[in-house]
Structure 1
């Protein structure tokens, strides 16, 4: 079907050019291009035209247009922000980042169909849930009627996410009054008491008169259930159409739907073997859910986006993929966030990263024999945890620090449930032996601990030395006596394991001291409060898996000087490499975003490692491993344009004024003015009406232009035929308009037109000396020694097959080339490059 679509699209293009006398000539040209028989071309045109796949002439309602986000509308979102206990900077960032996402999904009501797919990247444990809640409430404010949150794979995470969203909206499952008031307000949690199930279908339908939200696990079983429910809803829509009467369900299905994929690199992405034709089951089910809706925005959240961005865009289900081709947004971590950089800094200052014997840990794991109760290293770990708790409790009593209701130690060294149960027993024995020592050999124990702190834990010893020792030892013993050892896994014997970190489970005036042991459940998504001590040893080679295990990241500034991480030297070295790669990737995304590229046009590249992979191989089918040939091409293109008629006319007038100041000659059809003083270029750029972000980009470059004091060439593109109209700039310069496809995007709460490229090889090769023979090589570097201002005058069209949706006024588009920015190198380091996405310079148009 893909070749059929391409042939038919090219057929429509050539037909509109009016260059060919008849269809027979077009068919011959296409047969030659695709290297197939003319009968095949004719057959494909007949089949595809009958299905009307690409004929959008009368389908203007499907053009996605946006409307501004009015802050006065955002009552729910701002009510939530006002309740947050955050710094002013953090609140401003959360507000602006949420508004930016809302702008990208605030589609005008008259648009009958749309599918927006965006990716939101936030650092591990940095507050993505706050962004997600703010977005949900903002979406309700701007007219979205349904929100579906796909919340990980475990019930603990679903409960945690559900609790936070319920709390933000004002729903307390244990408070009847809040349930009544929120029902009156018009928002209902469809999964308040349990995950989605078909047995509650009647109740679900009754609630659809109100705005609803669902929080469901991203398992195949639950996705099948939610799809079954919406299959039924769509049958209701069909029946409504037959009866010519819109039912409640039909009305809801015709409204805007927000689908949020939390932990979006997990399960959602295609991880099927490369040789199979079908994508993986969960990927299929998420796509099928997406396709249930006519008006839908899918916003994916993750801290590790490698699977999302290295997927093969050409592997589809129902002609759809989850690749975030609409936008990529980066969240700012809070000012008090402790991530990898801060941990490296802390480690250099206070040495709070301690290395364990990897060979010994490997033997424990290999033999499944965790008899660690007599292991000096593990006894030391527990002693340091209790020391941190006792010192911190001492400071809590004096109100020198904020109270932490949970004081936790995490142990993640084996994924096997049986091993975790063994570890629970051993850590319990260590606690018991410590209590015994405190009762029988207090002075000896005290001296040993003081020596240990003085030798290896100076950051704790300095505090210990300056507090009342008698009170410290009382608090230390109380911590040991009250310490619980728990296992968190799907087979956990503890009935209350799901409520370990529930504030409501706390006894009055009593904090909870915990050693929690686990694997998978402690490796992703779940926030561990009051995490003072971490023991980590897992031998994964995938960036995303390992990075997600960093549960010690987060907002821990209240007790950061009391934290200790125990891991191996190998694991720490790997973390350093992974997070440096991650930071490089984020900087690259920021640069491409500032340059005006959409997510679909981003060049996705991630540094490779000899022993590590960004994600599992099955998830990165779009990636090729290449040597990192990087280049600064010197090209700079302006992709975004304001489309108000007055602005377009003013830009034409600015161009006309420029042509009157310069002497142009016609070279290879284009108009070229050579060796021009920069002052003329500057006057034009100063006079030109740029979109706000493009203006910033131009202003930054003008600083370098002024310093270089070089002569410029100015090139105005002209094509051979006046297919799209022509424009006289002065008596000597008359230009045939080019054609540019564009789409509407939202920037700074304004709708602007976005094009994929300004430059084509014919205008770039304006110096090529063989008339009529253009060099079509997609060169990454131009062989030009002086700066160049490229100008094209265009007819903007909403898509390549639609004349009826063209903008009437000509649009002046700008690009420039600066040889001082040109640079190329080949590093010995390799990268993973997604070769199924990204923007390139186009070949010339048909003349």
Structure 2
């Protein structure tokens, strides 16, 4: 940098520093003030013209741009600032910022082009009104651990937008806790829903930091059910929150429990520059360490005593609270450990009613709640739940916050066993973080690209997923290929380190996960099998190189060529070959290429501790690696474990997470179809199903987060059982229980809706088919070709269908008479359709279409006229509900007919467009078990046909007001009850 560049950067840094904790102010006045004592050179660069010229030639990574990016992002993300009423992360907010800065139009455009307005979503919050105690004024002069944590994340390379997003998300939790200084006691209880391996720990670390700064003095983190999960959480909190000085407390460095941790001497643990209490802050006293869970304190019980500067005042009085140290413990969810903690707390002299406590329950859907069959309760889960309830009962100022990525077993299914930890106060759904690689990144959800046209560039499945068989008699071909890919990707990482472009990063860990079973006996056999393959693979010989060369050119190179995102890719295998030997040595040079992680010390031949050393290994595991534990550097996964539980399946997706620098190298070898009688298992489709249901679940939460009428918004207890009605991979744990609030109406103008809870009984199916048959017989005898194209560069969505126009009062009676497996599944839609038909009068008629296959071979006869219609082979994804039914290619043109999409110029489609017209698409389904029942003449028992359908209401049919959802009246006498029993 030149002298002028340095001077300019200094002036802008000083000017923005004066605005950092306040509102944007006139930039030119701030720059002029900073330049007063710096001479003529400073005055020359303290002008808007100089700033504009610099921005004209600037690169997005220039230091001046990065400085402005950090500050603009903070203002963009600010929630309800005093200086603007605009919404965060919007163009209006950015205009308000620029106006306060006093910048002209040209300068604004330059800044906006270099630093675009962030469009990231904020957290979704379901919560009634709460006491506004967590304000900038209440935090004034008391923050210590949150600023330190925020600074650490920035130094670790977190983008400012990610840090700002975390600030907003943690605020949404902390502000809903009780005021720790209040003389009134109140326990708030909430749930935070994130994604698998997506940064939930970062969120609750931020929550703990802010809560401690606000006055919470005892923090209990329930860190999973396994020792390695608890230790992993303890280390993370020690490294990023507690800090070196609180860990050592005056002891020499070599006595630290992290003395053998490479990150300790490397200075990666947070440093406060001295003991916080000596620098105007307060200390954190650890009650647990990395290697030691909570133990009975016996004579050392004084360690739990809280000091009072004013003995006559309660601990929660600000004059005591803000001068007292905080206690932190990370404990395993184990009834013996929790019993020790409850016993010790009952011994201390400090009145428990005076201690502000925060309980963070990581993986709160595991062990904390009891979702087992009430007639066969799981004793272990119940016992742990009981201990958590005991903690809450003896600590009246305790706040409980559960964290999970799989909330399906929590409050939405059956909270009757867990009323003590039901999240009555709030639910916070965290947004999907930037850079996260989740289920969507391995699937082509609703891709408009036909399967035959999908490539490594436009298909996530083709890029990352490789099929393997689930059958136990499979040979080792697929496993060998997965191991070859593991070595190849290891070489690629070394190649990229050598080529640069990773900044200060290098690949500390590189792992492969093999997950086939939870049985330790099978792990023993699998380890021997993998070892045999490894030692006969010949990675440094001709045979090994030949296999790797073929795999490189057939798989690795084609994917990386189009998905490397700027990271180095070898031109040929010869460029990569020199790194293969080094990669093989890193993995197996110690003669131990495999680590078994299952708790069986007899065969656990290596410790999977990513904190103590770099690990380039193949991991074989079961339950220990199925939840919570982060497999660092995971690049290749070989997965064949079956399960029939959605939450368990999702948690076993250890391949989800952040893959900076090697996203294109990730491969998933996943078990596909296996016939078991009439049942087929396809793990890839299973994960896709969960992904769809999870996104639907989150979308519904967004709707319920909106205020109802003029009220303060609903409470979590008033949310209908979303999992029971919408999640096809989980049946409700207790089918005769419902929440006391009911979803009465769900409005969906212009949206594709597809009910899936179709009945199974032959007689009921026969009745439903009979209702639709006259409509089918009234359709056209020839097909219409519907077409929709989003842009000229994209292949159009096109399909053929029989058509018919019917008045609204012809279709509504049919919808009313249909029978459902779960009546509540369709009732909210029906209420909306009745409203726009009979009350608000926003629906005139329906276009009914019956999509037809191009080849007319898959047809059945329905009705007395002998007409033939295409049938669809769709299976119930997990009895009794179907998953997706329609073909995504059908939806766009039909949504255009309903006015939800703009015209693409197709005359045939446009001929049906009408502002007050809805669309129904009929899909006669024949399940696989009934295909043989189709006679040679195409006839079959209508009781073996499922008359499924999708519908689109007119885009303009919004009902009588703008509400998306409407709830029935809640019995005020039971407004706080989580459930009611339905007879």
Q: Please tell me the TM-score bracket, short chain as reference.
A: 0.5 to 0.7
The 1-side partners of 2:473 and 2:420 are apart by 44
Q: Paired residue for 2:361?
A: 261
Give, in angstroms, the shift of residue 206 of structure 1. Answer: 2.5
Q: Paired residue for 1:476?
A: 580
Greater share of residues in strand: 1
CA contact (8 A) 2:295 2:340 kept: yes
Q: Paired residue for 1:334?
A: 433
Residues 1:472 and 1:194: Cα distance change in structure 2 (over 3 Å):
closer
Of 200, 203, 208, which residue of structure 2 is paired with 1:128?
200
Deviations 1:214-233 (A, max 9, x none): 10000222222222222334
Q: Paired residue for 1:399?
A: 500
Q: Paired residue for 1:76?
A: 145
Of 535, 550, 554, which residue of structure 2 is paired with 1:451?
550
Deviations 1:192-247 (A, max 9, x none): 254445542433432433310110000222222222222334xxxxxxxxxxxxx4
The 2-side partners of 1:198 and 1:139 are apart by 25
The 2-side partners of 1:500 and 1:206 are apart by 30
Residues 1:109 and 1:786: Cα distance change in structure 2 (over 3 Å):
farther
Count of residues paired in the alignment: 560
CA contact (8 A) 1:410 1:534 kept: yes
Deviations 1:641-684 (A, max 9, x none): xxxxxxxxxxxxxxxxxxxxxxxxxxxxxxxxxxxxxxxxxxxx
**What residue ranges of structure 1 are gaps of 5+ in the alignment?**
1-62, 234-246, 365-371, 507-511, 635-776, 788-819, 831-837
The 2-side partners of 1:781 and 1:312 are apart by 32
Bigger relative contact order (CA 8 A; separation at least 6): 1
Alignment of 1:832-847 (within 5 A): 840-841=968-969
CA contact (8 A) 2:485 2:551 kept: no
Alignment of 1:193-342 (within 5 A): 194-209=291-306, 210-233=325-348, 247=349, 249-250=350-351, 253-275=353-375, 280-315=382-417, 320-342=419-441
Residues 1:544 and 1:515: Cα distance change in structure 2 (over 3 Å):
same
The 1-side partners of 2:833 and 2:949 are apart by 23
The SS at the match of 1:153 is coil
Residues 1:108 and 1:353: Cα distance change in structure 2 (over 3 Å):
closer
TM-score, normalised with respect to structure 1: 0.60
Deviations 1:562-614 (A, max 9, x none): 11000023101011111110011011111211233222222231376898326
The 2-side partners of 1:521 and 1:294 are apart by 34
The 1-side partners of 2:500 and 2:233 are apart by 31
Residues 1:125 and 1:419: Cα distance change in structure 2 (over 3 Å):
same
Of 351, 359, 369, which residue of structure 1 is paired with 2:462?
351
Q: Paired residue for 2:597?
A: 488
CA contact (8 A) 1:67 1:108 kept: no
The 2-side partners of 1:473 and 1:415 are apart by 37
Q: Is 2:505 aligned against 1:505?
A: no
Worse overlay, 117-126 or 107-116: 107-116
Residues 1:258 and 1:822: Cα distance change in structure 2 (over 3 Å):
farther
Q: Is 2:531 aligned against 1:428?
A: yes
The 2-side partners of 1:159 and 1:621 are apart by 40
Alignment of 1:739-778 (within 5 A): none
Residues 1:605 and 1:548: Cα distance change in structure 2 (over 3 Å):
same
The 2-side partners of 1:344 and 1:567 are apart by 12
Of 580, 586, 598, which residue of structure 1 is paired with 2:692?
580
Give, in angstroms, the shift of residue 145 of structure 1. Answer: 0.9
Q: Paired residue for 2:939?
A: none
Alignment of 1:762-801 (within 5 A): 784-785=839-840
The 1-side partners of 2:277 and 2:144 are apart by 17
The 2-side partners of 1:843 and 1:104 are apart by 25
Give, in angstroms, the shift of residue 138 of structure 1. Answer: 0.7
The SS at the match of 2:510 is strand
CA contact (8 A) 2:697 2:726 kept: no
TM-score, normalised with respect to structure 2: 0.52
Q: Paired residue for 1:418?
A: 521
Give, in angstroms, the shift of residue 461 of structure 1. Answer: 7.5
The 2-side partners of 1:496 and 1:326 are apart by 46
Worse overlay, 604-613 or 527-536: 604-613
Of 225, 230, 239, which residue of structure 2 is paired with 1:167?
239
The 1-side partners of 2:522 and 2:552 are apart by 30
The 1-side partners of 2:971 and 2:833 are apart by 11
CA contact (8 A) 1:541 1:611 kept: no
CA contact (8 A) 1:118 1:326 kept: yes
Give, in angstroms, the shift of residue 532 of structure 1. Answer: 1.0
The 2-side partners of 1:822 and 1:330 are apart by 35
CA contact (8 A) 1:450 1:461 kept: no
CA contact (8 A) 2:191 2:423 kept: yes
Of 181, 191, 209, which residue of structure 1 is paired with 2:275?
181
Of 695, 710, 721, which residue of structure 2 is paired with 1:604?
721
The 2-side partners of 1:498 and 1:144 are apart by 36
Give, in angstroms, the shift of residue 409 of structure 1. Answer: 0.5
CA contact (8 A) 1:102 1:138 kept: yes
CA contact (8 A) 1:386 1:480 kept: yes
Residues 1:199 and 1:349: Cα distance change in structure 2 (over 3 Å):
closer
CA contact (8 A) 1:581 1:607 kept: no
Q: Paired residue for 1:541?
A: 644
The 2-side partners of 1:400 and 1:455 are apart by 25
Deviations 1:742-789 (A, max 9, x none): xxxxxxxxxxxxxxxxxxxxxxxxxxxxxxxxxxx99996975499xx
CA contact (8 A) 1:338 1:557 kept: no
Alignment of 1:129-148 (within 5 A): 129-148=201-220
